[in-house]
Structure 1
Amino acid sequence: MFDPFSLLQHVLAPFWWLLLIPLLTVVLRLPTVKGWVGETILHTGLRLLLPSARYHLMRNVTLPTKDGSTQIDHVVVSRHGVFVIETKNYGGWIFGKPEDKMWTQKFPGRSSAFQNPLRQNDKHVRTLAELTGLDDNALFSQIVFVGNCTFKTPMPANVGKLAACLAAIRGRDDVLLSDGEVAQVLDRIRTGRLAPTRATHKAHVRHVQALLAGKRAGGTRAAPTARAQDRGDCPACGGAVDEYTYKTGAKAGQSFHGCTRFPACTYRSDVPERVAEAVA
Structure 2
Amino acid sequence: MSSIIIICIFVLLVAFKIWMSSPKNIGKFGEKRVARKLDWLSKEYITLNDILLPTSYGTTQIDHIVVSPYGIFVIETKNYKGWIFGHENSEEWKQSLLGKKRFWGWSSEQHKLRNPIRQNAAHARAVKAILKEIGDYPIIPIVVFADSAELNITTPNHIVINWCNLRSAIKSYRTSCISPEDIKRIVSRISSANITTEGSRESHIRNVQTAQQNRDMAIANGKCPKCGGSLVERRGRYGTFLGCSNYPRCRFTHNL
TM-score past 0.5 threshold: yes
Q: Distance in 1 between matches of 2:204 and 2:89?
A: 26
Aligned-pair CA distance for 1:22: 2.2
Distance 2:211 2:95 in 1: 22
Task: Check the 8 A contact 1:57/1:75 in 2, yes or no.
Answer: yes
Match of 1:95 in 2: 85
CA shift, 1:89, in A, is 0.7
- After superposition, the Cα gap between the structure-2 partners of 1:148 and 1:21, relative to the gap in structure 1 and judged at 3 Å, is farther
Compared CA separation, residues 27 and 178, structure 1 to 2 (3 A): same
Please report the RMSD computed on the Cα atoms of aligned residues, expressed in angstroms.
2.2
Asked if the contact 1:88–1:147 (Cα under 8 Å) also holds between the matched residues in 2, the reply is: no
1:86 partner amino acid: E
User: Which residue pairs with 2:116 in the alignment?
Assistant: 117
Alignment size in residue pairs:
208
Distance in 1, Cα, partners of 2:155 & 2:56: 31
Aligned 8 A contact 1:80 1:172 in 2: yes
Please tell me the residue identity of whatever aligns with 2:79: N
| Partner Cα distance (1:168, 1:188) in 2 | 25
Return the offset for 1:121.
0.3
What's the counterpart of residue 149 of structure 2?
149
* 1:61 alignment partner, one of 14, 39, 51: 51
- Give the Cα separation in 2 of the matches to 1:165 and 1:17: 38
Q: How does 1:245-256 map to 2 (within 5 A)?
A: none
1:17 to 2, 9, 21: 9
Q: Measure, in 2, the Cα distance between the counterparts of 1:178 and 1:152.
A: 38
CA distance in 2, matches of 1:175, 1:215: 41
Distance change >3 Å, CA 14–CA 203, structure 1 → 2: same
Q: Give the partner amino acid of 1:81.
A: G
Higher deviation after alignment, 18-27 or 119-128:
18-27
Aligned residues of 1:74 and 1:85 also touching (Cα < 8 A): yes
* 1:181-237 residue CA offsets vs partner (Å, 9 max, x unmatched): 111111111122212x55121111011012112223339xxxxxxxxxxxxxxxxxx
TM-score scaled to structure 1, two decimals?
0.69
Larger Rg: 1
Distance 1:128 1:145 in 2: 22
The alignment partner of 2:124 has SS state of helix
Richer in strand (by share):
2
CA distance 1:13–1:67, shift in 2 (3 Å): same
SS of 1:58's partner is strand
Is the CA contact 2:86–2:93 (under 8 Å) kept in the aligned structure 1?
yes
Q: 1:84-126: CA deviations, max 9, x gaps? A: 0000011111000111110000123320111110000001101
Alignment CA distance shift 1:188-1:38 (3 Å)? same
C-alpha contact 1:42 1:146 (8 A) present in aligned 2: no
Alpha-carbon separation, structure 2, partners of 1:76 and 1:82: 6
SS of corresponding position for 2:76: strand
Q: What is the rounded CA distance, in whole Å, between the counterparts of 1:78 and 1:163 in structure 2?
A: 20
* Unpaired stretches in structure 1, ≥5 consecutive residues: 1-8, 220-280
Q: CA deviation at 1:16?
A: 4.8
TM-score (norm 2): 0.75
Contact 2:95–2:113, Cα closer than 8 Å, also in 1: yes
Q: CA deviation at 1:135?
A: 3.6
2:139 matched residue in structure 1: 139
- CA apart distance, 1:162: 1.7
Q: Does 1:189 align with 2:210?
A: no
Aligned position for 1:32: 24
State percent identity of aligned pairs: 28
Task: Look up the equivalent residue of 1:50 and give its one-letter code.
Answer: L
Report the residue type matching 1:143 in the other structure: V
Match of 1:46? 38
Q: Give the letter aligned to residue 41 of structure 2.
A: L
Specify the alignment match of 1:76 in structure 2.
66
Distance in structure 2 (CA, Å) of the matches to 1:42 and 1:163:
9
User: Aligned AA for 1:206?
Assistant: R
Give the whole-Å Cα distance in 2 for the aligned partners of 1:147 and 1:200: 31
The question of whether the paired residues in 2 share the 8 Å contact of 1:38 and 1:147 is answered with no
Q: CA deviation at 1:169?
A: 1.1
Residues 198 and 30 of structure 1: CA distance in aligned 2, closer, same or farther (over 3 Å): farther
